[in-house]
Amino acid sequence: MLNITKIKERHKLKKPTGSRLVGCTSLMFEYSQEEDSGNKRIIPCLCFYPAKHAGEGELKKYASEQILPRSGGIETNSYLNAPICEGKHPLLLFNHGYCMFLESNTVQCEELASHGYIVLSIGHQGEGLYILPDGEVSTIDEEMQKDFLAHHSKSTEIFQKYSSWLINEGDHASLEEHTSRYKETMDSQPTLLAHMDVWLRDSLIALEMFLDNAENQTEWLGKHIDKDRIGSFGMSFGGSAALGLTHLCDRIKASANLDGFYYNSTWSKPFQKPILLMQHESETLGSHLLFPFLNSESDSYLVTVKQCTHANFTDYTEVMSENEMTKVVIDDKEVEFGVLGDIHPDKMITIMNTLLLDFFNTYLKNSSAPFLDKDDQLDDVFIQCKKTI
């Protein structure tokens, strides 16, 4: 997680465009990691949903200052524990970026909820920061993070080799060539794939428990889930998880990935469900989501957003008071770059919100995709589209 310090002291998140108010409530699930084991793993969650009215009128503050320092003056558009709108609503699972927090894409969650979606933001114990129902903070497990990052750093040379190939040859290479290159990269990542397997298990268990509540009508949210209209999306490592869920869960009909390199044990398996892939334009990474796009056998969209960075695909786009500079080592040279790109925050938010809504409306609500199907509708966006009959 980036160590962000330049946070707006007082700010109201961008108002969602849908006709419905947004409600928000905290949930937590837990499960035994092994049969007959007392070792419980918790899954903190935050649920956004279309609200009937504002309830008691208390708006949720943004992430706790224990999670994101200096963010105490940021206010959302979500009313705490407001009553949910009557009827059945599509459900979207959201997975945040690695070592981030449940609120890290609140702007997108609120936008989708305002248009009638229930959004379940899913946490991963030890690999994110969360406020638990008892008020305690679940912190990042240093050993888990060290395991994740240490192996990742060992494969830098392979990633650089793959990125160089994407930039110089990848655009015109065959699927077979892409598969061979991707295999080399994935074979170097057993630890990251193991971490991803845990995230996928967390997500599937959270979904199962949420739907069980719907089945038994024991929860006031559960009975309003339309179990035939479920999708998933995520950012970075969470975006990879969102794609992986399409292979593991028949209920999930479509998935969207916000700039997440595709790590998955089943990386070679073609997608049989619609996918939306959004990536930043990069001179050092190339088109890093091109392989899953080419490997799809269903409707697929590869969206490249210009003038942005990886961090622009989170709420940092809106909540940072000014850009920050950070340093990385590329080809043994230390390079300084901005956490955010030059794209205007409002434009970036509009692009993400518009295309996510367009995508899920198309594949969960059977409506048209006026923006995804016409790449001249949004500035700074290049859209590649592959449609099946």
Q: pLDDT category, 145, cuts 50, 70, 90?
A: confident
Q: CATH code at 90?
A: 3.40.50.1820
Would you say residue 167 lies in a domain?
A: yes
Would you say residue 2 lies in a domain?
A: no
Phi, psi (rounded to 5 degrees) for 81: 55, 30
- pLDDT score at 157: 76
Would you say residue 4 lies in a domain?
A: no
What is the average pLDDT across 213-238?
86
- pLDDT score at 135: 86
pLDDT at 389 over 90: no
- pLDDT score at 293: 97
At position 102, the amino acid (one-letter code) is L
- pLDDT score at 291: 96
- pLDDT score at 285: 85
Q: pLDDT category, 388, cuts 50, 70, 90?
A: confident
- pLDDT score at 225: 95
Would you say residue 35 lies in a domain?
A: yes
Q: pLDDT category, 287, cuts 50, 70, 90?
A: very high
Q: pLDDT category, 154, cuts 50, 70, 90?
A: low
- pLDDT score at 216: 58
- pLDDT score at 205: 96
Would you say residue 382 lies in a domain?
A: yes
- pLDDT score at 374: 73
Would you say residue 6 lies in a domain?
A: no
pLDDT in tens, 41-51: 999 999 999 99
Give the span between the Cα atoms of 387 and 330, in whole angstroms: 37
Helix (H, G, I), strand (E, B) or coil at 199: helix
Domain limits for position 74: 11-386
- pLDDT score at 376: 67
Percent of the chain with pLDDT over 70: 93
- pLDDT score at 368: 83
pLDDT in tens, 180-214: 999 999 998 889 999 999 999 999 999 999 998 76
Give the span between the Cα atoms of 289 and 243, in whole angstroms: 11
Give the span between the Cα atoms of 210 and 92, in whole angstroms: 12
- pLDDT score at 295: 97
Give the dihedral sign, CA 106/207/152/384.
negative
- pLDDT score at 286: 85
pLDDT in tens, 106-124: 999 999 999 999 999 999 9
Burial of 132 (0-12, 13-18, 19+ CB in 10 A): middle
- pLDDT score at 207: 96
- pLDDT score at 331: 59
Number of domains in the chain: 1
Better-scored residue on pLDDT, 325 or 118: 118
What is the average pLDDT across 46-74?
95
pLDDT at 173 over 90: yes
Would you say residue 136 lies in a domain?
A: yes
Q: pLDDT category, 378, cuts 50, 70, 90?
A: confident
Would you say residue 98 lies in a domain?
A: yes
Percent of the chain with pLDDT over 90: 74
Which residues are within 8 A (CB) of 142 and not within 5 positions of it... i.e. 6 or more apart? Answer: none
- pLDDT score at 382: 94
What is the average pLDDT across 79-84?
96
What is the average pLDDT across 250-267?
96
- Asked whether the beta carbons of 101 and 131 are under 8 A apart, the reply is no
pLDDT at 224 over 60: yes
Give the span between the Cα atoms of 87 and 383, in whole angstroms: 35
